[in-house]
Amino acid sequence: MGNRARLFGLVAGLTLLAMGCQQAQPRPQAGSGGAPAGNAAASGAAPGGQAASSSSGPTRVTIGVTETIESQNPYADSISLGYGVWCEVLGCLMTFDPQTRAYKPELAEKWEVQEPNTWTFHLRHDVQWHDGSPFTAADVVHSFNRVKNDPTSKQKHNLANVASIEQLDDYTVRMTTKEPTASLLSYLADLFIITSKAQYDKFGPDQIDRQPPLGTGPYMFKELVPNQRLVITKNPNFYGGKVEGPDEVVYRIMRETEVRVTALLNGEIQIAQFLPPHLMDRVNSAPNTKVVSTDSQEIMFLAMMPKTKPFDNKLVRQAVCYSLDRDSIIQGVLMGQGKRLDGPIGPASYAYNPDFQPRYTYDPAKAKALLAQAGYPNGVDVEFYTPVGRYVQDKQAAEAMTAQMNAVGIRAKLVTPEWPTLWADVQAGRTPFYYMGRGSVNDPGPAMSQYFETGVSPRIGYSNPQLDAMFEKERASFDENARKKALNDEMSLITEEAPACFLWTINMLWGMAKNIDYTPRPDLRIFASDIRVR
Amino acid sequence: MTRYLVRRLVGTIPVLLLVTLLVYGLLHLAPGDPASLLLPEDATDADVAEARARWGLDKPFYVQYVYFVGNALQGNLGRSFRFAQPVTELIGSRLPATVELAFFAVLIATLIAIPLGVFAGARPDSATDNVGTVFGLFGISMPNFWFGIMLILLFAGVLHWFPSAGRSEYGVAGQTITGFYFVDSIITGNWAGVADAFRHVVLPALTLGCALAGILMRITRSAVLEITREDYVLVARAKGLMNRVVLWRHVLRNALIPIVTVVGLELGTLLSGSIIVETVFAWPGVGNLLITGVTSRDYPLVTGIVLMYTVAFVTINLAIDAIYAVVDPRIRFQ
């Protein structure tokens, strides 16, 4: 190697090192704001790129998320992140307000049910697409048809109960359901995404999803880099007035928990979704970050299939429920980050009744007695299935439950198949006894029906004509109070009959920079307009 | 040489067919149904059945396979269930990230391993040799996912030198032309983009590169050790050539054959071995895509990616064979 080559190598090496380490200093404050898009580097972005804080410049918040939006087609996937983002960027008829547990008008300003199967939605007159063209009922009908007929749609189930839609005038649409569906709004709110008919007609089915999608919401689409990030930016002409959230929000895909936490502490992101309880202290003890805990709408339960022995006997099912010390598992395994369920649902769901009396308190003696009464005085052997890594501390919680059941004579053998196998078996009704969660229980009607109504799903295979009649009555109860009562009657009977033991909801933990004010929603949607930067 | 290469290429056709059959068959044998995995938990059984029919999953296995092969022969690997996009487009959009990472991993590995291996081999049982051997063992035995997370904790979490994950930074990355972030940034004169690309690639490339460097260092060391005992090395020394010249000009050149072989094989492995590293570092490459495909039982996507890996492996090995002739003029292909 000649001297010149050596010198060149040295210079090249030093240049690369300098490039790698430039601006490489720890940031004292994990904040947001700074340079607008495209100027972050020039304005002195730190590695990992959060723009430097600025009191006067535009604000940008980066959120480390676990799900990924891969396509500009809002109907091609069915994930919580996507529903929230597309609802806020493109538009949706209404949203669910977790504080009031009521539906909040968005593109539809009001709605009414004329007959049990007919719903009329009155749309706002003052809404424009981001290109200035008017939003009308034709867009709603077009969106309905895309959900139903787009070959890539994964959202058909949301509109499965709706038989047809018709445009009554420019600002009124009518939906006809297949049967009375009092919970219809729970299938539409945040879930039925409205897209522009004119844009679709202009580009056609092959090209439409390669275009930046046009919306009506408080934020506008800016950039999608598949499997890396999605960027949205504030809509200055939003029909709802001034948008209070940050100027730009970047959703960065980071599936690894450790990476999200490091990025948060490093100031690369300002909000980190889903932290496990064991990392709480690390985030809380850092000077500029905090953990925010929120209720979940995901109910965790033990399912017992009544068509299989020994769960064909109600007393055995109840014995299982009495054998579990749920409070100790919440404290010990979930590190206090959970709420005990006394009935099927928790406080984050519609129709939650705080006066619901705890039915199954921890009572091993009663569990043993029930087991003996059921004809198993010497105990019984069962196989108990649990997912691993699907839910927070799932295997550990299942191990704790196994020990508690064994103590009363329910000799459970823990089986831990990988998720696709377990889920396929559960869906096909091949798993008699399993630990599972059911998410998105915003309105409990559909979830209860799915698991406990005769013939709806083989997941538990429970059948009870009395309960079926109650479901039918509840679906036709359009008066809010009557429906809430009907739902609570259903849930009382389910709890008593115990085809499942309802265990807990697991609090969702979010890491945040201290200068961010944001209350995460129990339904996992992230609405940028809810975020405030101090 | 040309005839040899053509013969080798023709020989790969049955390999590709066998690979697709195996992958397709194994995926179908594996428990788990793509429709129920990809639709949300509130989807009804009717929704799942409709999705199965739409994706052709209600047809017998052989029909699905023949259909796949027929389309693949026309360059169409089907449409991903999960992403609802053509598989070829998906792979094409992710491949540059994986190739970029593999390139830097090999670069780092070569820069570390070859000098270390040569010095260790030239002075067996010396301090250099012992340090090199320990490094080699460390590189070979350390799991990628653990080393990656340690690097993130140290260089991103403590020292704040590099970003913790991702491939580029929003606002810095410019226009996509080739998909190779470095190349695109250089073409457009976006020097901040070059620096950004470098900062992002260092940690994942180091994670992959160290594992490869361990193997490469051991191979180089043993090859050098063997060749230094050859008569012509003795002759070179007897001529009075400087030790440095003997080592780098005479010994290393002849030790290159096994080194090139290992680099080639490892480059192929890197494309699949980077699956874990891509996941840890949220690197948007093909490995990351494969993980998503496997967990959602996305048959066309997984088969398409494995097919791509096979083609890459075969091509790299062919290229390595061609390089032998350059490295060692005594080698002739018949």
Taking only the tens place, the pLDDT of each residue in A468-482 is 999 999 999 999 899
> A37 to chain B: which residues are within 8 Å by CB?
170-171
Q: Which residue of A has its CA nearest to B43?
A: A157
Q: Who among B36, B161, B284 is closest to A21 (CB)?
A: B161
- Beta carbons of A160 and B44 less than 8 Å apart: yes
Strand (E) or helix (H) holding A278: none
CA distance A377 to chain B (A): 37
Q: Which of residues 185-224 of A touch B (CB under 8 A)?
A: 223
Alpha-carbon distance of B231 to A455, in angstroms, equals: 84
Query: DSSP 3-state helix, strand, coil percentages of chain B (rounded to 5)?
Result: 75, 0, 25
CA distance A121 to chain B (A): 24
**DSSP state at residue A31:** -
| Beta-carbon count within 10 A of A25 CB | 12
CA distance A189 to chain B (A): 15
Alpha-carbon distance of B118 to B12, in angstroms, equals: 36
Q: Are A284 and A290 in contact (CB under 8 A)?
A: yes
Q: A473 burial class (0-12, 13-18, 19+ CB within 10 angstroms)?
A: middle
CA distance A120 to chain B (A): 25
3-state secondary structure of B331: coil
> A191 to chain B: which residues are within 8 Å by CB?
none
Q: Are A436 and A303 in contact (CB under 8 A)?
A: yes
Nearest partner of A413 among A434, A437, A439, judged by Cα: A434
Q: Is A147 on the interface with B (CB under 8 A)?
A: no
Alpha-carbon distance of A94 to A175, in angstroms, equals: 15
Alpha-carbon distance of A108 to B178, in angstroms, equals: 44
Query: Tens-of-pLDDT digits for all 534 residues of chain A?
Result: 444 444 444 444 444 444 443 333 333 333 333 333 333 333 333 333 343 344 557 899 999 999 888 889 999 988 889 999 999 999 999 999 888 888 999 999 999 998 889 999 999 999 999 999 999 999 999 999 999 999 889 999 899 999 999 999 999 999 999 999 999 999 999 999 999 999 999 999 989 988 899 999 999 999 998 888 999 999 999 999 999 999 999 999 998 898 999 999 989 999 999 999 989 999 999 999 999 999 998 999 999 999 999 999 999 999 999 999 999 999 999 999 999 999 999 988 888 988 877 779 999 999 999 999 999 999 999 999 999 989 999 999 999 999 999 999 999 999 999 898 999 899 889 999 999 999 888 899 999 999 999 999 899 999 999 999 999 999 999 998 999 999 999 999 999 999 999 999 999 999 999 999 999 998 889 999 999 998
- Beta carbons of A24 and B41 less than 8 Å apart: no
Alpha-carbon distance of A404 to A411, in angstroms, equals: 10
Q: What residues have CB less than 8 Å from A175, skipping those under 6 apart?
A: A118, A119, A121, A162, A164, A165, A184
Q: Give the residue from B114, B160, B299 with the most A CB atoms within 10 Å of its CB, the best one to mutate.
A: B160
Q: Would you list the DSSP string of B124-155?
A: TTSHHHHHHHHHHHHHHHS-HHHHHHHHIIII
- Beta carbons of A76 and B84 less than 8 Å apart: yes
3-state secondary structure of A189: coil
Q: According to the 3-state scheme, what is the secondary structure of A516-530?
A: EECCCCCCCCCCHHH
Q: Is A149 on the interface with B (CB under 8 A)?
A: no
Q: Who among A22, A157, A254 is closest to B47 (CB)?
A: A157
- Beta carbons of A258 and B281 less than 8 Å apart: no
Which amino acid is residue B99, in one-letter code? V
Q: Give per-residue pLDDT as tens, A412-462.
A: 999 999 898 999 899 889 999 999 999 888 899 999 999 999 999 899 999
- Beta carbons of B282 and A229 less than 8 Å apart: no
- Beta carbons of B284 and A70 less than 8 Å apart: no
Strand (E) or helix (H) holding A385: strand A380-385
Number of CB pairs < 8 Å for A and B?
A: 198
Strands of the sheet with A172-177, listed across from one edge: A108-115, A118-123, A172-177, A162-169
- Beta carbons of B170 and A19 less than 8 Å apart: no
Alpha-carbon distance of A246 to A58, in angstroms, equals: 8
Q: Give the residue from A22, A224, A427, A441 with the most B CB atoms within 10 Å of its CB, the best one to mutate.
A: A427
Q: Is A10 on the interface with B (CB under 8 A)?
A: no
- Residue A246's alpha-carbon distances to A106, A265, A455, in angstroms, are 20, 20, 47
**DSSP state at residue A247:** S
- Beta carbons of A48 and B43 less than 8 Å apart: no
> A44 to chain B: which residues are within 8 Å by CB?
none
Output the pLDDT for position B334. Answer: 55
Q: Which residue of B has its CA nearest to A23?
A: B161
Q: Give the residue from A258, A419, A442, A451 with the most B CB atoms within 10 Å of its CB, the best one to mutate.
A: A258
Query: What does chain A come to in residues?
Result: 534
The dihedral formed by the CA atoms of A211, A217, A221 and A225, expressed in degrees to the nearest 10 = -100
Q: Is A23 on the interface with B (CB under 8 A)?
A: no
- Beta carbons of A427 and B33 less than 8 Å apart: yes
Q: Which residue of A has its CA nearest to B46?
A: A157
Q: Which residue of B has its CA nearest to A444?
A: B42
Q: Who among B41, B162, B167 is closest to A47 (CB)?
A: B162
Triad A451, A76, B54: Cα angle to 5°: 75
Partners of B67 in beta bridges: none
Q: Is A19 on the interface with B (CB under 8 A)?
A: yes
Q: Are A505 and A339 in contact (CB under 8 A)?
A: yes
Output the pLDDT for position B155. Answer: 92
Output the pLDDT for position A25. Answer: 37
Q: Is A388 on the interface with B (CB under 8 A)?
A: no
> A438 to chain B: which residues are within 8 Å by CB?
41
Q: Give per-residue pLDDT as tens, B155-169.
A: 998 888 999 899 988
Q: What residues have CB less than 8 Å from A474, skipping those under 6 apart?
A: A182, A445, A483, A486, A487, A489, A490
**DSSP state at residue A56:** S
Alpha-carbon distance of B284 to B279, in angstroms, equals: 8
Q: How many CA atoms lie within 13 A of B150 on its CB side?
A: 8
Peptide bond into A310 cis (omega under 30): yes
Output the pLDDT for position B333. Answer: 59
- Beta carbons of B166 and A16 less than 8 Å apart: no
Q: Who among A51, A71, A421 is closest to B32 (CB)?
A: A421
Checking if the pLDDT of B276 tops 90, the result is no
- Beta carbons of B156 and A73 less than 8 Å apart: no
Q: Who among B39, B85, B160 is closest to A71 (CB)?
A: B85
Higher pLDDT, B246 or A332: A332
> B78 to chain A: which residues are within 8 Å by CB?
none
> Which structure tokens are listed for B229?
């005992």
End-to-end, the C-alpha distance of chain B in Å comes to 7
Alpha-carbon distance of A495 to A341, in angstroms, equals: 11
Q: Is A164 on the interface with B (CB under 8 A)?
A: no
Q: Give per-residue pLDDT as tens, B172-225.
A: 877 788 889 889 899 888 899 999 999 999 999 999 998 888 888 888 888 888
Nearest partner of A132 among A234, A242, A235, A249, judged by Cα: A235
- Beta carbons of B83 and A263 less than 8 Å apart: no
> A258 to chain B: which residues are within 8 Å by CB?
149, 152-153
Q: What residues have CB less than 8 Å from A321, skipping those under 6 apart?
A: A302, A359, A360, A498, A501
Nearest partner of A318 among A378, A363, A384, judged by Cα: A363
- Beta carbons of B153 and A262 less than 8 Å apart: yes
Q: Who among B36, B170, B199 is closest to A223 (CB)?
A: B170
Nearest partner of A91 among A59, A60, A134, judged by Cα: A134
Q: Is A427 on the interface with B (CB under 8 A)?
A: yes
Q: Are A90 and A194 in contact (CB under 8 A)?
A: yes
> B169 to chain A: which residues are within 8 Å by CB?
40-41, 45, 48-49
3-state secondary structure of B101: helix
> B149 to chain A: which residues are within 8 Å by CB?
256, 258-259
Q: What residues have CB less than 8 Å from A330, skipping those under 6 apart?
A: A336, A337, A338, A339, A340, A504
- Beta carbons of B172 and A424 less than 8 Å apart: no
Which amino acid is residue B54, in one-letter code? R
> A420 to chain B: which residues are within 8 Å by CB?
30-33, 37, 295, 297
| Beta-carbon count within 10 A of A104 CB | 11
Q: Which residue of A has its CA nearest to B79?
A: A152
CA distance B109 to chain A (A): 15
